[in-house]
Amino acid sequence: MHAGMHPRRQGHRIAVGALGLALAAIAVHWGWNTTATTLFGLPEARFVQSFAGLLGIVAVAAAAGYGASLGSGRNERQSESTTK
């Protein structure tokens, strides 16, 4: 939790994030079952599979963003040490 953030606001942020994730999982589930099964003859996905796949994508994106933020600070420190 950020310093100074009210706990109720944090709970609201978590609830909105969970709702957004659930809606995105429904969209992925619907999209897969209407497109992949009709066009490519692939098996239908269960909602749990769609939700797990979406969680995996979110986790990889979050890890990539975290890694990029770590790397950007490192480059700035290196450039400062070489200019001195």
Look at residue 4 and tell me if it is in a domain. no
- For 50, other C-beta atoms within 10 Å of its C-beta total 20
> pLDDT exceeding 70 applies to what percent of the chain?
80
Look at residue 3 and tell me if it is in a domain. no
Question: How confident is the model over 14-44, as pLDDT tens digits?
Answer: 999 999 999 999 999 999 999 999 999 999 9
- For 81, other C-beta atoms within 10 Å of its C-beta total 8
Q: 80: pLDDT confidence band, cut at 50, 70 and 90?
A: low
Look at residue 75 and tell me if it is in a domain. yes
Range of the domain at 36: 19-83
Look at residue 13 and tell me if it is in a domain. no
